[in-house]
Structure 1
């Protein structure tokens, strides 16, 4: 009897434990279902395969640029930030509004315009910008000569850039005329457009670092409106020579060993004596274009040409350029 009772009690306890276990399991399943219902299922990116291919191609173009290691890294960060912000929004997670107005610091010929153009196309593929085209302007395109003219000119350029990037070269020149100058009106018009069309236009200010910093100090409200700052350093001699090789290859020419060595030496001299406005890749482009014309002048009176001769830029073609008056030739 006791044994039966004992077994009966034991049996009853085991049943109770089973019931409790089942109840806990069902509760856990219900909780899991509730969590599943409250959160959307993982989704794939809304960027198509074709768009991903285009993005990969644009990143390839960026990587193909000589130097600019930190600039490339920041552009990759921007791309990743945009994609992850969109993924977070799909899960109803908090994400800051994308404010991508930028300041590009650097001397001429350091790749600022090229990077801006690639960036615009990339942001269009990521659906941040409707078009992603680039409109380049300077002071003369924005500042008028009489009352009301400046606002009109600014609005025209903003309209052209709508859906893409408005790239303002030497932006600090907008403030160079003093209090009575219409440049301040241009700045105010641009700031208003940045507020009114946050998702439809990106503004990039570009120019020399010292002048840009001075410009931002005299216009304290501007700095906070441009959260992304990219610094474009000057190229070294090896990078400039690599750019020269790329430029001649694109034009289906090639530098002889002697021409390349002479050019390296000349570029090193230019870097040692460089001024604040050293023109970097523009300097190299001028050398290449002038060397091609010099080669043509050297060959034009020949009766027979080989394919190799038509492609080869010799030391003498480059040397003649370096010996010319720099004040007449190296202007950018």
Structure 2
């Protein structure tokens, strides 16, 4: 009795671990865990997408039907939550799995795509798409492409060109739209055709004060600085206060705060009559270097 087609398929073996190791995507997932504090939901979502793409690749190797998983994505969240960093890692994953040829990331905004007069937008958008081909196009604050209150705005033309390329060049270009969640929801609602082409939605939560303090310590360590012990609590207090202020941008705001603390440290050292300095003097951020922030004086 001859085995059925189903039995033949069931008897074909594929080594999942060998295929996974061959792609080396675990390196990228490990880098995500090492480089980014917190963001557990984001890391889990990226791992899920990577797993889906790996299984899709294995199915193709066995000539099984593949629905060509949608690769275009939406990254939503506040500024400074790691969206661009994760997009870079996603480009690496897509490249190692063979979904894009080059694996580079091109980051653009409305100004890079939309022209200021008739006939200007199409060439600008097409040139950006040409540069992004073979990789990932990351469009930050994508909702600015659409201005509902201005019928003469050229952003709609850029969106139409993007839609065509997203549909017709799915094998050679991945687009990631990014921005605040509520504004991105409105953006997708304004264009159902756009929404239907974005299969993967990843939301980036704001960091907690504890996570931001950990991020601050890593940033300082990378620049060979450290906090004196008493400054830890002061910086934590600064973070909680800053989070309540306008225009807070998570890790980006913390980086800016540390830059200012370093300037105050340098000014403190320079103003001191001390002629000889130790290494400790040069690397230590003290309590006053943080307390002299305008946030504590207000």
TM value normalised by structure 1: 0.82
Map of 2:290 onto structure 1: 318
Map of 2:233 onto structure 1: 261
1:166-202 superposed Cα distances (whole Å, 9 cap, x missing partner): 1111111111262111000010011111122111111
Q: Which moved more, 1:172-181 or 1:113-122?
A: 172-181
Q: Is the 8 A contact 1:47 1:126 kept in 2?
A: no
Map of 2:117 onto structure 1: 146
After superposition, where does 1:8-23 map in structure 2 within 5 Å? none
Q: Is the 8 A contact 1:241 1:264 kept in 2?
A: yes
Is 1:293 aligned to 2:241, yes or no? no
Gaps of 5+ in 2: none
The partner residue of 1:155 within 123, 126, 150 is 126
Is 1:219 aligned to 2:167, yes or no? no
Map of 1:207 onto structure 2: 179
| Secondary structure at 1:76 match in 2 | helix
Distance in 2 separating the partners of 1:158 and 1:40: 44
Q: Is the 8 A contact 1:263 1:318 kept in 2?
A: yes
Displacement of 1:290: 1.4
| Secondary structure at 2:292 match in 1 | helix
| Secondary structure at 2:280 match in 1 | helix
Displacement of 1:214: 1.2
The partner residue of 2:27 within 47, 57, 61 is 57
Displacement of 1:323: 4.4
| Secondary structure at 1:224 match in 2 | helix
Map of 1:240 onto structure 2: 212
Q: Is the 8 A contact 1:137 1:168 kept in 2?
A: yes
Q: Is the 8 A contact 2:226 2:285 kept in 1?
A: yes
1:191-228 superposed Cα distances (whole Å, 9 cap, x missing partner): 11112211111111111111111111111221111011
Q: Is the 8 A contact 1:266 1:322 kept in 2?
A: no
The partner residue of 2:43 within 69, 72, 78 is 72
Q: Taking structure 1 as reference, are residues 307 and 191 closer, same or farther at Cα in structure 2, changes over 3 Å only?
A: same
Measured on the aligned residues, the alpha-carbon RMSD in Å equals 2.3
Map of 1:192 onto structure 2: 164
Map of 1:23 onto structure 2: none
Displacement of 1:49: 5.3
Distance in 2 separating the partners of 1:40 and 1:183: 53
Gaps of 5+ in 1: 1-26, 327-332
The partner residue of 2:139 within 168, 172, 179 is 168
Distance in 2 separating the partners of 1:88 and 1:168: 31
| Secondary structure at 1:96 match in 2 | coil
TM value normalised by structure 2: 0.91
1:38-82 superposed Cα distances (whole Å, 9 cap, x missing partner): 678424468585642xx2221111112111111100100011111
Count of aligned residue pairs for this structure pair: 293
1:139-185 superposed Cα distances (whole Å, 9 cap, x missing partner): 11110011221010001111111111111111111112621110000
Map of 1:121 onto structure 2: 92
Q: Taking structure 1 as reference, are residues 325 and 94 closer, same or farther at Cα in structure 2, changes over 3 Å only?
A: farther
